[in-house]
Structure 1
Amino acid sequence: MSAVSDRLPVFPWDKLEPYKKTAAAHPDGIVDLSVGTPVDPVPDLIQKALVDAADSPGYPTVWGTPALRDTITGWLERRLGARDVTHRHVLPIVGSKELVAWLPTQLGLGPGDKVAFPRLAYPTYEVGARLARAEHIAYDDPTELDPAGLKLLWLNSPSNPTGRVLSKEELTRIVAWAREHGVLVFSDECYIELGWEAAPVSVLHPDVNGGSFEGIVSVHSLSKRSNLAGYRAAFLAGDPDVLGPLLEIRKHGGMMTSAPTQAAVVAALGDDEHVRVQRERYAARREALRGALLAHGFRIEHSEASLYLWATRDESCWQTVAHLADLGILVAPGDFYGPAGEQFVRVALTATDERVRAAVARLS
C-alpha cells in the first residue's frame, strides 16, 4: 500500500528556501512578504477572553458553546446580511485549512468523483481532492464545467492569490447553475471583510441564494481579520443538511476547537472596532507597496480585495522572485497557485510598518 503522502505534490514552500536565504542576507534584513501570516498583536479584548477561559479542564464540544453559536449567527446577519440563521446553520472548525484539506474525505468523495476549484487557487483545494483520491479540475468559469460526476465546487471570493472579487450577479448565476445540476458549493470567504476597491458579497446573502441555504456552505476564518492565525479559529455556515453530517463525522474524529479559543472567538466576532483598526493598517501598507511596485515596473492585476497584490513584470515568476530576493524582499511565486500564475508573484501585506517602509525604500 502506497503512503498517503505519495498522493501529494511537493510542499511548495520548500522550493522558496534558497531565495529566503538570499533575502535574509540583505544588510538590513529580510522583508518577508511571502506567506501572509499576521504580524500585528492579537487585540487585548481577545487575549483577555482567552486568558479568562484558560481554566478549562474538560473536553470542549465540537459544535461549540451556545454562546459561540449565538455570536456566529449574529455576526453572519450583522456583517454579511444573511437571514434566518440558526445554530443548525453553523459549525466551528479548527482553522480553515484543515477543513479544506479534509472536506472531500469527510463528504465521502473518492475515485470517480470530481472536485473543482478556480484556475488560480489556494493549493489545498487540490490537496483535499488528492487525499480523497477524487479527481480535481481547475476552472475559469464553473458554469462551463461538465457537471457529470462533479460533487464539490469551490468558490473563493475574495480570491487567494489574486484578490479578485466575484460580483453578486456572478455568484447568483453560479449558485443557480450548481443547484440545477445538484453540485454542492463551498465558498471560501476568509477575506470577505478585506475589500478595498470592491465590496465582497457572501453566498449567504439572500440576493444571491434567494433566501435558501440549500446546497451552499461558506467558510470563514478569524486568522486575518482578527490576527488569530495562531489560535486556529474558523467556522462554516450554510446548509444544515450538509453541516449536520459533518458535525457527526467531526465528533467521531475529535475535531474540537479548544474551549479558550471558543471564548476568544466570541469576543472577536462581537467587536467590530478592532477589525476597523486592522483594516486601516492593511490599507496603508497596501497603498505604500502598490505604489512602490508600480514605480518599479510591475503591473498589478485584480487585487481589489484580500491581503495580497497580484503583480507581474511579464517574466517567469521565479525570475521575479530572484530579483526581489536580491533586494532582500521575499514574495510567493505565482505558480504555487497553478500554472496560470507562472508570470506573477503574490505580495502579502502582512509585514510590520517598519518592514513595509524598508521594502518601499528598496524598490525605489
Structure 2
Amino acid sequence: MGFHTFASPYDWSRIASYKRTAKAAFGGMIDLSVGSPVDPVPESVRSALANAANDPNAYGYPTTVGTADLQAAIAEWFCDSRGVDLAAINAAVVPTVGSKEAVALMASLLHFGEGDVIVQPAISYPTYEIGTQLAGARVLKVADVADVDSWRNMPGVKAVWVNSPCNPTGDMLSVEQMAGIVAAARDIGAVVLSDECYALMTWNAPATPAPCALDARVCGGTADGVLVLYSLSKQSNMAGYRTAFIAGDAALIHPMADYRKQIGQIIPGPVQAAMAAGLRDRQATRTQHDRYRERLGVLVSALRAYGYATNMPDGALYVWVRAKSGDCWKDMAALAEIGIIASPGEFYGAPEYLRFSATASDQAIADAAERLAH
C-alpha cells in the first residue's frame, strides 16, 4: 500500500491570524468555521458506554467488524432510517474510527494507485483528494458527478466520490441522479463511494433522509460496486467517540476489514456499545435534527441581513455563500473585525465562497446574528 505525498490548502492554521483579530473584537470570537458538535451526547449513549466498560469486548481485544449487537444495530438503522435491507442486497459492514480515516484510507484499501483515476466533485470535502493522493492515484474533479458524461469516458477511472447532502454546499442529489451515477460507474467497472454522513440532516418538510446509494431504486437490488459511509458525529454528537462505518459490496468490505484488523483500525469495545445505542436512539437523533434546523434558519436570515445572497440549504449543517468581495480571505478579514470566524471556501475548492457552520450553540448563533444585523 504505502503512503504517497499530498498537497492541500486545507490547513486550519491558515486562519489563526483571523482568530486573533476576532478574539479582540467586542464580545470576543464566535467560531462558525469547524463543524464540531457542541451539544450533549445522548444519555443512552453515555449509559451504554459506562455499562460496557468491563465487558469482554473491553478488557479483551475488540472485534474489528463490531459485536453482533453493533452489526444488528447498523442493519436496523439502515432498515428503519434509510429503507435499505442490507442482507437482501448482499451488503456487509465494517465500523471505522470516525469517517475521516475511512475517507482518507479508502483509495489505499481498495488498492488504487499509479495510473488509476478517482472522480470527485470540484467543490467538496478536502479529504477525498488527500486520500487519493496518499494512494498515489490521480484526482479528477468535475463540476457535477451526476453529469456522468464528464467522467465515464475518461481512461483509468476506478472510483467516483459522491457526497449528498454535500459538505460544504448543502446540495442533495435525487434518486434518479444517484441511480445514474451507479449505472455509469458499473458500466466502466468503477466503484461508487457515497459519503452520506449528513443523510439525516435534511431540511425539507416533512423531513425525509437523503437518497441512499444502497436503496434498491438506486443500486438495482444489489450492493455490487457500491460503498456507503455514515457517521454518528453529527446525528448523536459523538465526534469524539470516532464512530462511523462503511457498508456495501461484501466482496469489497471483507478484505478491507482484514486490512483494518492488521493495522489496528478498530473501534474500542465500549465505544462499539455506545455506537449501537446511538443508532437506536431515534428520539435523540430527531431532537438534534430540530436543533440544527433552528440554528440554520437563524443563521441564514442573519447572513441575508449582512448582505449575503443565500437560502436554507437542502441538507448538511452549513451555509455556503459567495463572498461579497469576491475573495473569501477579504471577507474573512471583515468578519473577523466583528468577531465572527467562517471557513474559507478555498479549503473546499472555491476561493470565492465561505462556509458558515451551524454547529455552534444556540447562544453563539444568536450572538452572531445580532452582530451580522448591525
Q: TM-score range, shorter-chain basis?
A: over 0.9
2:37 is matched with 38
2:330 aligned residue (319, 322, 333): 319
2:183 aligned residue (168, 176, 199): 176
- CA-based RMSD: 1.6
1:222 is matched with 232
The gaps in structure 1 that reach 5 residues or longer are none
Alpha-carbon distance between aligned partners in 2 of 1:58 and 1:106, rounded to the nearest angstrom: 26
Alpha-carbon distance between aligned partners in 1 of 2:137 and 2:144, rounded to the nearest angstrom: 20
Q: CA deviation at 1:24?
A: 1.4
Provide runs of 4+ in structure 1 moved above 4 Å.
3-6
2:110 is the counterpart of 1:107: yes
Q: CA deviation at 1:10?
A: 5.2
2:200 is matched with 193
Letter of the structure 1 residue corresponding to residue 237 of structure 2 = N
SS at 1:300 equivalent: coil
1:60 is matched with 62
2:157 is matched with 150
2:171 is the counterpart of 1:164: yes
Letter of the structure 1 residue corresponding to residue 43 of structure 2 = D
1:49 is matched with 48
Q: TM-score, normalised by structure 2?
A: 0.93
Aligned 8 A contact 1:36 1:349 in 2: yes
Alpha-carbon distance between aligned partners in 1 of 2:259 and 2:312, rounded to the nearest angstrom: 38
Aligned 8 A contact 1:299 1:313 in 2: no
* Closer/same/farther in 2, CA of residues 5 and 203 from structure 1, 3 Å limit: closer
Q: CA deviation at 1:21?
A: 1.1
2:306 is matched with 296
Q: Quick one: percent identity of the two aligned structures?
A: 41
Alpha-carbon distance between aligned partners in 2 of 1:182 and 1:33, rounded to the nearest angstrom: 40
Q: CA deviation at 1:25?
A: 1.4
Aligned 8 A contact 1:83 1:211 in 2: no
Q: Deviations over 1:134-154 (max 9, x none)?
A: 111111233121342111211
Aligned 8 A contact 2:164 2:173 in 1: yes
Alpha-carbon distance between aligned partners in 2 of 1:254 and 1:208, rounded to the nearest angstrom: 33
Q: CA deviation at 1:70?
A: 0.5
1:13 is matched with 12
1:117 is matched with 120
Map 1:272-291 → 2, pairs under 5 A = 272-291=282-301
Q: CA deviation at 1:313?
A: 3.6
Alpha-carbon distance between aligned partners in 1 of 2:136 and 2:181, rounded to the nearest angstrom: 26
1:131 is matched with 134
Letter of the structure 2 residue corresponding to residue 249 of structure 1 = Y
1:346 aligned residue (352, 355, 374): 355
Q: Across the two proteins, how many residue pairs are aligned to each other?
A: 360
Aligned 8 A contact 1:62 1:92 in 2: yes
Letter of the structure 2 residue corresponding to residue 181 of structure 1 = I
SS at 1:45 equivalent: helix
Q: Deviations over 1:16-58 (max 9, x none)?
A: 1111111111231211100010000101111111111122211
Alpha-carbon distance between aligned partners in 2 of 1:274 and 1:189, rounded to the nearest angstrom: 19
SS at 1:34 equivalent: coil
1:79 is matched with 81
